[in-house]
């Protein structure tokens, strides 16, 4: 038990530090370029946001998710672009899939990339049409292009905002999410439950994908590698899950996180069922 808790703490610290680095890099880049990065995303055609965000999301590991969250909370990409990017994110499982079934993995990443682009476009249309509030905290992510003092940057940006307002919450959310997954998998035996009915796998995969952690998805990766579940189930789980990418978003805006997961859950079920009934 003690060893498990220590491992959870260690992993939480590692993830939190990585999140902090990504947030600082994006913030620093925005300050150094005097908002040129922001102007690039804002002035570019909206569709380019979806392509670039989804492309970043397809990068193996959780870096893509962290990067897009940082871009979003800085107001550089739209809610739809972030949601679409999370569709494309495969988390750490990407490395496992490339090792276990490289050809199918590449096909999966390509499909997720395309779905991510058009999902982002569609979600922004829905958000605009129904006036769904998003990025309500984005105004807090301020930059000071006229301030060139390094001391000011460290004090106001890194310490005053990123660390005091975000990093500690990210660390708590990370530890909590990892603990729930660790003990849930150990005592609920989710592997046994998902091994009975293939159509049930699809819905279970979508539900498990709601968990903001990479580990649970490995169940479906392994089952697919062994030929026990169809491609549609793996696709559904991959669309809904986003590895650790959602953890910093949870600490930043719980409301936006729930909206994002709701959209991706519906997309995952819909696309998954289409693939399932056509025989994939």
Backbone angles phi, psi at 91, to 5 degrees: 65, -160
Query: What's the Cα-to-Cα distance from 252 to each of 40, 95, 169, 195, rounded to whole Å?
Result: 24, 27, 8, 36
Domain spans in the chain, listed from the N-terminal domain onward: 2-277
One digit per residue, the tens of pLDDT, for the chain of length 280 reads 777 788 878 777 876 776 677 667 766 765 665 556 566 666 666 788 888 888 888 877 677 777 788 788 877 788 888 999 999 988 767 777 877 788 898 999 999 999 999 999 999 899 888 888 777 665 554 444 445 566 766 776 677 766 776 677 667 766 775 676 667 657 766 556 655 677 888 988 888 888 877 667 777 777 787 777 889 999 998 999 887 777 777 777 788 888 888 999 999 999 999 999 988 8
Residue 212's pLDDT is: 76
Q: How many angstroms from the chain centroid is the CA of residue 30?
A: 22
CA–CA gap between residue 4 and residue 182 (Å, rounded): 9
Name, in order, each residue with C-beta under 8 angstroms of 61's C-beta and a sequence gap of 6 or more: 91, 92, 94, 95, 243
3-state secondary structure of 98: helix
CA nearest neighbour of 275 among 108, 80, 59, 105: 108
| pTM for the model | 0.68
- The predicted pLDDT at position 195 comes to 58
Query: For 120-189, what is the HEC assignment?
Result: HHHHHHHHHHCCCCCCCCHHHCCCCCCCCCHHHHHHHHHHHHHHHHHHHHHHHHHHHHHHHHHHHHHHHC
- The residues facing 91 across adjacent strands are 61
**pLDDT score at 144:** 45
| DSSP code, position 243 | G
Helix, strand, coil shares of the chain, percent, nearest 5, are: 80, 0, 20
Count of residues for the chain? Answer: 280
As beta bridge partners, residue 61 has 91
| Rounded distance between C-alpha atoms, residue 261 and residue 72, angstroms | 15
């Amino acid at each position: 038990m003690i060893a498990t808790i220590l491992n959870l703490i260690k992993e939480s610290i590692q993830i939190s530090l990585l999140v902090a680095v990504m947030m600082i890099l994006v913030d620093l880049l925005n300050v150094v370029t005097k908002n040129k990065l922001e102007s690039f995303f804002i002035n570019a055609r909206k569709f380019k946001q979806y392509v670039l965000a989804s492309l970043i999301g397809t990068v193996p590991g959780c870096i893509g998710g962290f990067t897009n969250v940082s871009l979003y909370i800085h107001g550089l990409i739209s809610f739809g672009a972030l949601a679409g990017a999370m569709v494309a994110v495969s988390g750490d499982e990407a490395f496992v899939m490339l090792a276990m079934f490289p050809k199918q993995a590449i096909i999966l990443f390509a499909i997720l990339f395309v779905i991510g682009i058009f999902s982002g476009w569609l979600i922004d249309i829905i958000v605009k049409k129904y006036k769904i509030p998003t990025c309500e905290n984005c105004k807090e992510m301020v930059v000071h292009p006229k301030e060139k003092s390094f001391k000011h940057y460290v004090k106001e940006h890194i310490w005053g905002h990123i660390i005091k307002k975000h990093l500690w919450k990210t660390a708590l959310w990370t530890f909590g999410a990892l603990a729930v997954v660790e003990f849930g998998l150990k005592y609920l035996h989710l592997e046994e439950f998902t091994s009975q009915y293939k159509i049930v796998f699809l819905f279970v995969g979508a539900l498990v994908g709601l968990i903001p952690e990479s580990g649970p998805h490995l169940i479906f990766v392994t089952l697919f590698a062994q030929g026990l579940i169809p491609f549609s189930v793996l696709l559904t789980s991959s669309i809904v899950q986003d590895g650790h990418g959602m953890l910093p978003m949870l600490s930043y805006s719980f409301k936006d996180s729930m909206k994002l997961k709701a959209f991706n859950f519906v997309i995952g079920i819909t696309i998954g069922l289409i693939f399932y009934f056509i025989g994939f």
